[in-house]
Amino acid sequence: MGGRIKRRKEYVRKAILHTVLLIGSVVFMVPFVWLVTTSLKEEDEIFRYPPVWIPTRQVKIDLGGHKYPVSMWNGVRVAEISETEAGEVKVRVLPGQPNAGKETLVQRSDLVKVRKFALKWENYTDALDYLPEDTYKGLIYLWNTVYITTLSIVGTLLSSSLVAYSFARLRWPGRDSLFLVLLATMMLPGAVTMIPVYLIFRALGWIDTLRPLWVPAFFGGAFSVFLLRQFFLTIPTDLEDAAKIDGCGYFGIYRRIMLPLIKPALATLTIMTFMGTWNEFMRPLIYINSPEKMPLAYALQLFQAAHSAEYALLMAASTLVMLPVLVVFFF
């Protein structure tokens, strides 16, 4: 009897926990769903209240080889033929309605658009068409971002794992003190080192190149070194001793034993580096001047400045930039 009550309480606890997690996931999904649905809407649906979650488009009808929008006027279906300079709309009553074929001028406010479920995929093609021609519909921005992100991931994993292995498994004078100095650098705000680092890159002649965006990754980072060091410390020393008995050197132990055992940490660091580099905006803003060298995040900001009032296009461009991050997150 007591075991049954205990199991029931456990089921209730798990049900409550999963319900809370489900509600939280729905709350966090709302902005993303709104982004995607807005990117597929017509402009007049974006600011409607109550909000429209399912995109629709105005029905059109073919009359004499031309397609005209369909609206309701005084309970009658009409086709919007043209609009005058005064803002009035010339409409024609559709066949099958009272006074079919009659044309008259009405106020725009008197018309109610007839809508049906449809997605406006043209927002995505229009957003790409607005990009400069020499970017090949944004492929140059995409290549720059992939190039920077790939090198940053490789440099971060290589340099940080080597330094972390040294701090965790090797013994050398001043190791612990130097590790404290490394951790202390995490307390320095980026604004403090921004100007000195810029002066260094300017002296190297790297301004308006992609090097300042990926070369620093090959010199490690305090947080990534700290993360990997903690994982290295959890590996039993018996494995290292056995490898030494078999004649394996320090680098061989690092490559054949240590790295395979910290794959979860390496995967975590890869995802964090990917997301951070893919969405990086500040450093490209500082170092890049030429449009053909801009990454996606910087190009998206410029697109927003040029089309700030065209929200559907802006949401479509934002969705395109987010797609690779979503693929990495879910898969």
34-45 pLDDT, tens per residue?
Answer: 999 999 988 888
Interacting residues of 77 by C-beta distance below 8 A, sequence separation 6+: 70, 71, 93, 94, 97, 114
Instruction: Concatenate the DSSP letters of all residues of 37-100 into one string.
Output: HHHTS-HHHHT-SSPP-S-EEE-EEEETTEEEEEEEETTEEEEEEEE-TTSEEEEEEPTTSTTT
Interacting residues of 251 by C-beta distance below 8 A, sequence separation 6+: none
Name the residue among 218, 256, 221 with its Cα closest to residue 235.
256
pLDDT the model gives residue 2: 61
**pLDDT tens sequence across 252-275:** 889 888 999 999 999 999 989 998
Enclosing H/E stretch for 115: strand 115-117
Of 309 and 195, which is predicted with more confidence? 195
pLDDT value at 64 more than 80: no
pLDDT band for 88, please (50, 70, 90 cuts): confident
pLDDT the model gives residue 50: 82
The average pLDDT across 56-61 equals 86
Produce one character per residue of 165-200: b if its CB has 16 or more CB atoms within 10 Å, e if not.
bbbbbeeeeeeeeebeebeeeeeeeeeeeeeebbee
Of 2 and 224, which is predicted with more confidence? 224
Domain residue ranges in the chain: 2-46, 56-117, 128-330
Angular region, 136: left φ>0, alpha ψ -120 to 50, beta rest: left
pLDDT value at 86 more than 80: no
**pLDDT tens sequence across 135-194:** 888 889 999 999 999 999 999 999 999 999 999 988 889 888 999 999 998 888 888 889
Q: How many CA atoms lie within 13 A of 300 on its CB side?
A: 20
Helices (H), the chain: 2-39, 43-46, 122-129, 139-169, 175-184, 190-204, 211-214, 222-233, 237-245, 250-253, 259-261, 263-278, 282-287, 296-306, 311-330
pLDDT the model gives residue 204: 94
pLDDT the model gives residue 202: 94
Peptide bond into 50 cis (omega under 30): yes
The CATH homologous superfamily to which domain 128-330 belongs is: MetI-like (1.10.3720.10)
Q: Tell me the three-class secondary structure of 246-279, residue by residue.
A: CCCCHHHHHHHHHHHHCHHHHHHHHHHHHHHHHC
Mean per-residue pLDDT over the chain, rounded: 88
> Model-level pTM?
0.81
Under DSSP, is residue 208 helix (H, G, I), strand (E, B) or coil? coil
pLDDT the model gives residue 215: 95
Report the C-alpha gap between 85 and 102 in whole angstroms: 21
pLDDT the model gives residue 1: 57
Interacting residues of 295 by C-beta distance below 8 A, sequence separation 6+: 141, 144, 145, 148, 213, 280, 284, 288
Percentage of the chain beyond pLDDT 70 is 99
The dihedrals phi and psi of 103, each to the nearest 5 degrees, come to: -115, 140
Pick the CATH number of 56-117 from 2.30.30, 2.60.40, 1.10.357, 1.10.8: 2.30.30
